[in-house]
Amino acid sequence: MEPIYVQNYTVDDACVDRYGRMKPSAILYIAQEMGGRHSALMSLDYDTLARRKLFWAVTRHRVEVTRMPALGETLRVETWPLPTTRAAFPRSVVAYDSQGNEVFRCITLWVLMDLDTRKMIVPGKSGIIVAGTLRGNELPAPGGLIPLPLGAQKCRTVAFTDLDRNGHMNNTRCMDWIADLLPSRFHQSHSITDFTVCYLAEAREQQELRLNWEMTDGTLQVDASTGEGEDAHRVFSAKLFFESSGVL
């Protein structure tokens, strides 16, 4: 098996927003798909792991965007696993346009979860070995995001179409919820340049999440939680950086 997996993606209508630009959630989808396809070549796909009562889950994403791709573009996407840490299986993804210019790169922290208990299994006790590669251009692993007092709040309930095969809210849907906090006119005149998302707990169907958020000087911070009182806990958090695109 090659240490670097390469796949072409065409940016179609399902990947873009109303302005024909790739949605941030589509970047996460590509990162997830690339990881899944490469894992299948390593015999670590969903069905194989399920027979061992395990499944892959993403705990953190960090993405740098040079230029958001547009509808109709074909991207050349590369992915490779990094050396395993004590807690996670990091994976790098880089995408290039047809001229060979980088458009985005990301690093994702994958972990193994017990299918029945939903608890994380550290790599050293999982029996899973992934050979890592360092090419020298990887993003540093993303750290956690400290909860802050945020001025605005919106509540949403996890629905059927938010769920993935593991029965919890998919990471791409978290990013769509985050994007929905801002109106079309903002997205029209701003481009995302960098974002980090941390997934802290599973969100299950019919759970209501409180999205506390605030936009300050082009930086959007979001903290999603569920439950009340002693039962309250964070589900995901994110920090996104935007710059003006000059479009009015």
Residue 166 binned pLDDT confidence (cut-offs 50, 70, 90): confident
**Predicted TM-score of the model (pTM):** 0.92
* Domain 144-248 sits in CATH 3.30.390.50: no
* Predicted local distance difference test score (pLDDT) of residue 246: 66
Q: What is the mean pLDDT of the chain?
A: 93
* Predicted local distance difference test score (pLDDT) of residue 91: 96
Backbone angles phi, psi at 71, to 5 degrees: -55, 135
Question: How far is CA 140 from each of CA 66, 81, 106, 194, 210, rounded to the nearest angstrom?
Answer: 17, 13, 9, 13, 30
Residue 1 binned pLDDT confidence (cut-offs 50, 70, 90): low
Q: How far, in whole angstroms, is CA 166 from its chain's centroid?
A: 16
Pairwise CA distance, residues 56 & 112, whole Å: 5
CATH architecture for residues 1-143 = Roll (3.10)
* Predicted local distance difference test score (pLDDT) of residue 72: 98
pLDDT single digits (tens) 59-110: 999 999 999 999 999 999 999 999 999 999 999 999 999 999 999 999 999 9
pLDDT single digits (tens) 196-244: 999 999 999 999 999 999 999 999 999 999 988 777 899 999 999 999 9
Q: Which two tokens stand for residue 143?
A: 């750290």
Residues contacting 125, CB < 8 A, separation 6+: none
**pLDDT at residue 245 tops 90:** no
* Predicted local distance difference test score (pLDDT) of residue 144: 92
Closest CA to 42 of 2, 84, 73: 2
Tally of CA atoms within 13 A in the half-sphere of 24 that contains its CB = 28
Closest CA to 52 of 134, 126, 163: 126
Say what percent of the chain tops pLDDT 70: 98
pLDDT single digits (tens) 46-55: 888 989 999 8
* Predicted local distance difference test score (pLDDT) of residue 8: 98
Instruction: Locate the domains of the chain by residue range.
Output: 1-143, 144-248
Residue 247 binned pLDDT confidence (cut-offs 50, 70, 90): low
**pLDDT at residue 248 tops 60:** no
**What DSSP designation does 209 have?**
E
Helix and strand numbers (H, E) in the chain are 5, 11
16: β partners: 22
1-143 and 144-248 agree in CATH topology = yes
